[in-house]
């Protein structure tokens, strides 16, 4: 069962890389709206990472 949480963390890393690439491209745009969307997406990414990593670490410890 712990192997599933390790796979979850690996998939989270892949999603982080792809999402950060998208955020970086949005932040470089000259439009203020696209920059705001990029920063909002970055905030969602940080919050999601916090909860998924915290959940996985708690399950791996038990």
Residue 34 to residues 4, 27, 29, 44: CA-CA distances in angstroms?
Answer: 36, 7, 6, 15
* pLDDT at res. 1: 58
Domain count, the chain: 1
What would the pLDDT profile of 2-47 be if each residue is shown by its tens digit? Answer: 788 788 888 888 988 988 888 888 888 888 898 888 889 889 989 9
Dihedral (Cα; 42, 44, 45, 47), 10-degree rounding: 120
* pLDDT at res. 29: 80
Domain of 13, in residue numbers? 2-61
- Give the integer Cα–Cα distance in Å for 22 and 59: 30
* pLDDT at res. 47: 93
């Amino acid at each position: 069962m712990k192997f599933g949480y390790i796979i979850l963390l690996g998939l989270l890393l892949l999603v982080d890389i792809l999402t950060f690439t998208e955020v970086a491209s949005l932040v470089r745009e000259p439009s203020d709206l696209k920059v705001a969307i990029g920063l909002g997406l970055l905030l969602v990414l940080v919050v999601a990472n916090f909860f998924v990593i915290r959940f996985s670490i708690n399950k791996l410890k038990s």
